[in-house]
Structures are given as C-alpha cells and as structure tokens.
Chain A
C-alpha cells in the first residue's frame, strides 16, 4: 500500500531524489484519513533537509496532477508531487 512521491526543480535538487514509492502502512493517522499534510509530516522526519525543503511557505503540492491544499486526502496509488512555484512560458 503505497503512493508515488515526485519532486521537481529546486526541491529535487535539495533532496537528491526525483521519484520514489512511499509505504503508507503503519502511518499515522490511519491510511483512510491521510492527507497531504500528514505525508509532509512523515517525509519531514527524514531529516532537517526534508523538513526545511517541504515546509517552505511557497511549496506547491499536486495530487494526481492537480494543485491541492494540504487537507486533500491521499489514497493508495496516488501520485503526490512537491515543487516550487512554476516559472513556465
């Protein structure tokens, strides 16, 4: 039971990872109530670099390719991406 985490741009660079599977088993709260904030909290436990990078005020969260707030619920098989504000065009 897992989700895919993707990181882009300066976040990818700062954390040295671009994509990985995150196991939801054993996470708090129960998997059925996990939201983006809970995933951020879990990833922040990986160390100061993760905590600092993911909790910058301008970090954007995209769940299954759509920008969401941190209260969006996450389910098995979802793709959750973190990245800085977009600078296309």
Chain B
C-alpha cells in the first residue's frame, strides 16, 4: 500500500512480485503505461515530466487509500516517473489486489483515471516540430467524472 515517485525505469516484474507477495489475494490487476511515439499523428521523440513532489506524493497516497476503501483491496501500489523519458519507456504502473477480478480491474481503472487529472504532473513532448506542453484532454476529464457520478449514486 504505497506510492513511489522515481526517475528510473519501473521494474514491472519486481513491482508485481512485491504487490502479490505482500498480500496474496484471489485477483490481481495491474496497468503499465508507456511513452507513446506519437500524439495527434505527430511523431514524439522524448517526453519530459515535471512534477510537484510533495503534492504528488500526497495526492497519490490519498488516491490509493480511496481505491482500497472503495474496491476492498488487500494491497495496492502506484509508481509514477518524472524527468526525461524516451519513447516506449515505462511512465506509470498501478497494481491492485482484491478478492474478485471486478474490484481489482476497476481499482486500476479508477486509479489511472484519477491520477491523470488529479496528480500534479505535466508532460512536455519533444516533437519533430519542437517542444510542446501537453494540454489536458476532455476525454480524460470525462473518464475521471465517470467515477464521481458513480460516487453520487
């Protein structure tokens, strides 16, 4: 049940082993995000991730605990990178352990949808045409809002 903010690549196999080893459960779900090589049909050659360390730690910690409570998780982990990342490198990893697959999968989706809009990270893409800050997407906000509307129900 922890958060890691790190510059180095995410060791997915080790993260998985720790996640499952600490609290074995019937259902384990994980999500790994990688730097894509294009945005809106433009080639991306590098990604720089700026972050607000103290707030990122706090927001992700609260997010993990919210997921644990909401989806009855026995274990969770969020790893997010910062700094300069190359194409195809890992950027984010979340894992959830629960009694049933629905909770484990939903928890990963909830954590990812929430961190996209709520965790203080900012992407700057190096494109062939120059550097550019990535702007927030309506589709990401809509995915985040989905969980809020479920909360209200």
Contact = CB atoms under 8 A, between A and B. Distances in A.
Interface in A48-89: 58, 62, 65-67, 81, 83-89
Interface string A13-49: 0000000000000000000000000000000000000
Contacts of B122: 8-10, 83-84, 86-88
Contact of A62 (B49, B55, B92, B123): B55
Q: What interface size band does chain A fall in?
A: 10 to 19
A4 to B, nearest CB: 11
Interface stretch (B7-15, B18-26, B99-107, B131-139): B131-139
Nearest to B118: A86
A62 B149 CA distance: 24
A84 B133 contact: yes
B121 interface: yes
A88 B136 contact: no
B40 interface: no
B109 to A, nearest CB: 12
A62 B123 CA distance: 19
B136 A85 contact: yes
Interface in B43-58: 49-52, 54-56, 58
A87 B92 contact: no
B96 interface: no
Interface of B: 33, 49-52, 54-56, 58-59, 80, 91-92, 112, 115-124, 133-136
